[in-house]
Amino acid sequence: MPESSSTQTSHDAHGRYAEPSSVDDFRRNLAAVQARIAAACHRAGRDPQMVRLLPVSKTKSEASLRLAYAAGCRMLGENKVQEALGKWEAMQDLADLQWSVIGHLQTNKVKLVARFASEFQALDSLRVAEALDRRLQAEGRSLDIFVQVNTSGETSKYGLAPEQVSGFIQDLPAFTALRVRGLMTLALFSSDVERVRQCFMLLRGLRDRLRESAPAGVNLDELSMGMSGDFEIAVEEGASVVRVGQALFGARPMPDSHYWPGEPSTENHRR
């Protein structure tokens, strides 16, 4: 969908999203993405206020993150735990800046997430849930959680198979430091819009069915789906959180395979 001239995200000579160099640049990028969200909501008969934009700052410098903060962002998404931890430590002066970990988590990194994150969007293991809960209890903290679902059926992707999710969420109330907010997915990496849309429709339908049998304390209101290359489709299909990186922060130097293990390296401008 074309952006209006007053809210157009800038691009470099290669057609990639240009990196903002000022707070005003970042504000323009935010306005452009918010306008696209609003247009997608209008097409779907939704209220744009019901969609949260999560800026994804992975690989970006502290200076770039500080531009985002100055432009009004108060939560940032990161894939790699140690990178996120380093940024959190360097930006302690921004007391109201929160962090969402959106990438796969190994149990040996759980103690780090328990220290600083406000949100974890990729839970797909009871071992990780148990370890997180134990560390959070020790820290006296709690954590918002999204359960990751593999809606594309690709073996390279993390996440539970759709048929595993019902049983999985029945076990989550045992972990009292985890506040389950909803489901998350990564759509198929494809230029075929309808195949991408099917991933989002599957997650929404699964959520709607599971709501009827979800145990007490498990909230499935939220759907985190959609990134820079497909967030408008996700919004049309009911996303309440979209994870947008490159349309806000500019293109990244590395392919997606570097950030999302198993993903093809050729489609590197999705997020």
Q: Answer yes or no: is 265 within a domain.
A: no
Predicted local distance difference test score (pLDDT) of residue 10: 60
Alpha-carbon span 84 to 126, nearest angstrom: 23
pLDDT score at 6 = 44
Whether residue 46 lies inside any domain: the answer is: yes
Distance between CA atoms of residues 133 and 52, nearest Å: 26
pTM of the model: 0.88
246 inside domain: yes
Between 134 and 12, the higher pLDDT residue = 134
Report if residue 45 sits inside a domain.
yes
Q: In what order do the strands lie in the sheet with 143-148?
A: 52-55, 241-244, 222-224, 178-184, 143-148, 119-123, 98-101, 75-78
Say how many domains are in the chain.
1
What is the tens place of the pLDDT at every residue in 80-90? Answer: 999 999 999 99
Residue range of the domain that includes 230: 7-250
**Domain presence at residue 255:** no
Determine the Cα–Cα distance for residues 184 and 146; give it in Å rounded to an integer.
Answer: 6
Residue 51 lies in a domain: yes
The pLDDT score that the predictor gives to residue 155 is: 87
**What is the per-residue pLDDT across 150-178, written as a single tens digit (0 to 9) for each?**
999 988 889 999 999 999 999 999 999 99
Tens digits of residue pLDDT in 251-265: 876 555 444 444 433
Find the CATH number of the domain harbouring 125: 3.20.20.10
> How many beta carbons lie within 10 A of that of residue 63, not counting itself?
8
Within a domain: 258 = no
Alpha-carbon radius of gyration of the chain: 18
**Is residue 178 assigned to a domain?**
yes
